[in-house]
Structure 1
Amino acid sequence: MAHNIDYGNLMHQAMRGLIRTVLKDVETNGLPGAHHFFITFDTTHPEVKIADWLADRYPHEMTVVMQHWYENLEVGEDGFSVTLNFGDSPEPIYIPYDAIKTFVDPSVEFGLRFEAAEDVDEDDEEEDEIPTDEAEDPEAPRSDADVVSLDSFRK
């Protein structure tokens, strides 16, 4: 039986762990300096807890901002709860890490995006289908690895 390392799932776990660590620090010390978060999450996730009127208004996904006004941040192993201000109406919400689609801190140009399983599967299928005119030349010299600097992707 073949066994493959599921790098995509492992990366998502690590990224969610990073979010948990960041939020745990904010829970203890508050938001430092100009840091603030835009968190987009799937409102249909079975463990999300939001007010009915928010679920009606955002039936698929919602983006919340943690910046100037938030209260009662409690960070757990599987998710976090926080009270946010929606049009002068404080509302408690609970967001499991598995429901998070994006986590962005624009103050330092940092962001994480989680691909849905069906998006990853479609990408994998596209990568598996290599047209014959793009196939590798067996006579061409081969290198063992291509090294790409991440600095070229930074703004």
Structure 2
Amino acid sequence: MTEDNKPVESLLPYDRWTEDAMREVALQALDYAGAHGLPGEHHFYLTFRTDHPGISIPSHLKARYPEEMTIVLQHQFWDLKVDRARGLISAGLSFGGVPATLVIPISALTAFWDPYVRVGLRFPSAEAATVPTSEAEEASAVSAAEQTPDTEPAAAAAAVVEEGPAQVVSLDAFRRRPARDGGA
């Protein structure tokens, strides 16, 4: 291999600028949802580092997900706010029927996903902030299940994913399906 084929190292931080621009797309979507609600079938999966400085989540969630957690913003969330000046995202969610407010530093976000339109963004700088020490300690996911009086306890419990490799959880299996009228 000759030196002519060697990649040129940029003196401009294109990687950081690209990640900042992608992060802004996620923040604009969250801003919109906080101000207007989620339109149509849009919903968001937010993955973030729970070991990031400035994170504020209930202690039982921090104990269960010591490094990374994924939440779903879909039907039952409240007070979703993006505070760019303070660098924070906050939202109210229920976990096992218990309401909680999560405060997440924007820099703690590792991924944003809107499965309705298949838009997904990863933020490598937050992922690289700390390195997992074992597979058992790798990213876990928690889903804020749709909580209604009709929700069966088993469905709500199944919405919380046990520790394991990072994953996106589909709640479709737990949704009530309308009764069919005879035919196929």
TM-score, normalising length from structure 1?
Answer: 0.71
Which has the greater radius of gyration? 1
- Is 1:98 paired with 2:78? no
Is 2:58 the partner of 1:51? Answer: yes
Q: CA deviation at 1:74?
A: 1.6
Change (3 A) 1:45 1:117: closer
What amino acid is the match of 1:75? V
Structure 1 position 116, deviation (Å): 3.6
- Counterparts of 1:103 and 1:116, CA distance in 2: 14
1:130 is aligned to none
CA-CA distance at 1:38 after TM superposition: 0.7
Q: Which moved more, 1:110-119 or 1:52-61?
A: 110-119
Q: Secondary structure at the match of 1:14?
A: helix
Q: Please name the residue that 1:111 is paired with.
A: 120
Give unpaired runs (5+ residues) of structure 2.
Answer: 1-8, 129-184
TM-score (norm 2): 0.61
5+ unaligned residues in a row in structure 1: which ranges? 120-155
Percent identity, please: 41
SS at match of 1:17: helix
Letter in 1 for 2:41: A
Task: Give the paired residue count.
Answer: 118
Q: What residue is the counterpart of 2:83 in the other structure?
A: 76
**Which consecutive segments of 4 or more residues in structure 1 shift more than 4 A?**
none
Q: CA RMSD in A?
A: 1.8
Please give the per-residue CA displacement for 1:1-54, whole angstroms capped at 9, x wherever unaligned: x98111111111111111111111111110000000111100000011101111
Match of 1:61?
68
